[in-house]
Structure formats: C-alpha cells, structure tokens
C-alpha cells in the first residue's frame, strides 16, 4: 500500500525559488555590473553510502541493517553570480525512488519498503579561472532531504522523516560558446534521518530505523548563461 502525502511539486519549486531570490535580494554586495544568471541542466546519479541500524520494540537488533538502492534522476541548478568568481546556486531534481532492503540479521525480511525523495540544495560556490574555457569550482551549503511518499514492504505503515543536512561539492564548467557550456559536478551530502513502522511478521511489533544516508551525487549536462 502506498502512502501519498499532500505534496505539490510545483508549489515546492516556486517556494524554493522565491527563497533563493529573497536571499539574493538581501545580499548587499550584489550589483548589476557583476550579476549573471546561469542554468545547469543534466542527469544525476545518487550513490548512497548508508549506515542503518534497526530497533524492534525499542531494542537495537545486533547485525540488523538495511541497504538503499542507488537511483538516476534529472537535476537542474539555477545560479546567480555576484562576481566573476562567487555565486549562489539552488539545485532541484525530479524525485527518484529508492528501495530499502533488509541486510544482515534483517535480510530474511527482504524488501522493507521504498521511499520517494527530493533533495533541495542551496550552495555557495567559488569558481577558478573565471572567464576561461575550463572553470573548476568548489562549494558548500545546506540540503533539505524531502521525503515525498513511502510504500510499505515488510514494514507496514512506513514513515520516513524529512531532514536538513550539509554538503560539499566540486565541479567544472567547460565553455562551448559565450553562453553555452557543459558541466560536471560531484556533491557529497551529509544527512541523517529516521524511519518508523511496524513488523506484521513479528506480531505488529514497532520498528525504528536510524539512517545515515550520506550519498554522493554525480551529475553532468549543459549550462546556460543569461
């Protein structure tokens, strides 16, 4: 059974963009002479580096864990350049689904459920060799790991919590024309969350999973300056 939340993707995107614009407007060192918008659009790979512990009826089960399947998605980043080197970027993506499977002592339960999620990242970036053909950059910021909905498996009533985290990332823009380019990007996210539900196979005993997600997100695509 799938549990669907009252989630409006368009409203979430509008709210995130509005927050970014307000943050940009409140930044005193932005100026018309140095302002420059960019858009990066590409494909992404979410590679989880998870660490999961499971507790049943309040007791941690030794050796019981879970694995999260990696996922592909489409990503877009809208960015605003304050100076040739410094910029702010807001990254959004099409929410992918990851399967959650029992491992270790929990392996006999098989698929525990699945979760659809939509990370939203806001990062500050510093770009080297601004104006050159190849422009490496580094950045850091915050990420909101937003859970959109869940589907039950061996765990009934599965509910995962949305959480804030942090991230670091590196990448490079490669200019093809004055306004069109290609990019590659690697983000390392640091996010912890919690999931709850019950285990019908154990008489409906409550189960809790404490999860360190910490995925690496690889992406590549095209960039547009305007």
CA angle 180, 219, 98 (to 5 degrees): 145
pLDDT under 50: residue ranges of the chain: 1-35
Q: What span, in angstroms and rounded, lies between the C-alpha atoms of 147 and 155?
A: 17
Q: What span, in angstroms and rounded, lies between the C-alpha atoms of 114 and 117?
A: 10
- Could you tell me if 74 and 113 are in contact, meaning their C-beta atoms sit under 8 angstroms apart? no
In order of start, what are the domains of the chain with their CATH numbers? Answer: 37-225 (2.40.160.20)
CA nearest to 173, candidates 126, 141, 215, 140: 126
Q: State pLDDT tens for residues 124-173.
A: 999 999 889 999 999 999 999 999 999 999 999 999 999 999 999 999 99
Instruction: Tell me which DSSP letter residue 107 carries.
Output: G
CA nearest to 193, candidates 205, 168, 218, 210: 210
Q: What is the pTM of this model?
A: 0.81
């Amino acid at each position: 059974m799938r549990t669907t939340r009252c989630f409006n993707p368009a409203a979430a995107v509008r709210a995130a963009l509005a927050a970014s614009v307000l943050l940009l407007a409140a930044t005193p060192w932005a100026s018309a002479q140095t302002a420059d918008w960019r858009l990066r659009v590409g494909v992404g790979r979410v590679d989880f580096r998870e660490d999961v512990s499971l507790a049943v009826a309040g007791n941690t089960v030794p050796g019981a864990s879970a694995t999260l399947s990696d996922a592909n998605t489409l990503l877009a980043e809208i960015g605003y350049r304050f100076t040739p080197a410094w910029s702010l970027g807001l990254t959004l993506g099409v929410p992918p689904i990851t399967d959650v499977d029992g491992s270790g002592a929990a392996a006999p339960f098989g698929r525990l459920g699945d979760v659809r999620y939509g990370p939203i990242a806001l990062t500050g970036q510093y770009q080297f060799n601004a104006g050159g053909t190849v422009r490496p950059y580094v950045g850091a910021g915050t990420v909101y790991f937003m859970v959109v909905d869940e589907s039950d498996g061996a765990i009934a009533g599965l509910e995962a919590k949305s959480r804030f985290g942090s991230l670091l990332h590196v990448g490079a823009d490669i200019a093809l024309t004055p306004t069109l380019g290609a990019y590659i990007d690697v983000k390392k996210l640091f996010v912890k969350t919690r999931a709850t539900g019950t285990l019908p196979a154990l008489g409906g005993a409550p189960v809790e999973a404490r999860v360190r997600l910490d995925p690496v997100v690889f992406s590549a695509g095209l960039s547009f300056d305007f």
